[in-house]
Amino acid sequence: MQLGQFQIDWISAGRFRLDGGAMFGVVPKVLWSKKIDCDERNRIPMGLNCILVTTPQGRVLLDTGIGNKLTAKQNDIFAHEGPAIAESLAARGLTPADIDHVVLSHCDFDHLGGASTRLDDGRIVPTFPNATVHIHRTEWEDLTHPNLRSKSTYFGENWEAIEQAGRVKLIERDGEILPGISAYHTGGHTRGHIVIQVQSGDEGAVYMGDLMPTHHHLNPLWVMAYDNFPMTSIEQRGMWFHKLAERDWWLLFYHDVDLGAGRYSAEGELRASVPPSPQPAAV
C-alpha cells in the first residue's frame, strides 16, 4: 500500500490461535461467533502480520510476531504455524539485517517474541541485528518486572538478548520518534501500550496494536478479556476511531486474517479495505 512517499507491507510471521471468549471479553459467543469461526477448543485464528513501513530514511517494522522460542506445551495451546518472519522478508528480497528500526506497540509474547531468535545451539540472539528497538518506558518497566498476571506473557527470553546487545531505545514522550513515525501512549491493553501513527504529507495511517486487533473489534465496547484496563481501552478506541474517520486515514491491523487495513466512516462502516500482503507460504 502506498502512503505518500511511504510503502506499507504486511510481513507474515505466521498465524496462531487464541480463545474466542477471551478475545471478545464479555461479548456473548452467540454474537461474536457470527463474525468468526472457532475450532473445537473455542480458539479463533489470529494473524501475525507485522507491518513494514519503507521510508526514504529506512525500513521500520511494527511488531515482530511470536518467534521460535515457544515450548511444546505453549505450541499446543497457541497452535503457532506458518512462515518465519525471515522467510517472509526473503520473499521480498530482504533479510532481517535490512530492518533499521522496530517499534513495538507493547511487549506481549506475540508482539515482541520475534525480536529475538533461538539458534540451533540454544543461544538466543537479536533477530534484527542492525535495528534499534523502540519500546515505551512504562512498557519496558513492566516487561522487566512482571507481576503475577503479566509474567504469563512477558518472557525474559524475549527481551534479554536485545537489551544485552544494546538495541533497546525507550520512548519517553508522545510525538514523532522517527521521520513520519509517531508514538502515542494509550495504556488500556497493557499499562505501556502505544498507538503508532504513520504520516507522509497529508496521507496517514494508524496502527492501534491490540487496542484494535481485528476489524471484528470496531465496536468500542467489544474489548478483550486480555485488556488489563478495559475502560481505558474503550475510551482510547473511541477517541482514535473518531480521529481516523475525521481525517479519512487508514486503520492498520496486525491480528486480522482477512484485512490488512481499512477506511471507515464516522458510523463505523467499512468504505475501503486492503488485504494483508500475499504471503510466501500457506498457513
52-82 confidence digits (pLDDT tens) = 999 999 999 999 999 999 999 999 999 999 8
Report how far apart, in Å, the C-alpha atoms of 66 and of each of 45, 226, 236, 244, 266 are: 14, 17, 26, 28, 34
Amino acid symbol at 125: V
15-49 confidence digits (pLDDT tens) = 999 999 999 999 999 999 999 999 999 999 999 99
The C-alpha atoms of residue 262 and residue 273 are separated, in whole angstroms, by: 4
pLDDT number for residue 280: 46
The C-alpha atoms of residue 49 and residue 69 are separated, in whole angstroms, by: 18
Instruction: Identify which of 208, 225, 159 has the alpha carbon closest to the alpha carbon of residue 27.
Output: 225
pLDDT beyond 60 at 139: yes
98-111 confidence digits (pLDDT tens) = 999 999 999 999 99
Which conformational region is residue 58 in: left (phi greater than 0), alpha (psi within -120 to 50 degrees), or beta?
left
- Strand, helix or coil at 47? strand
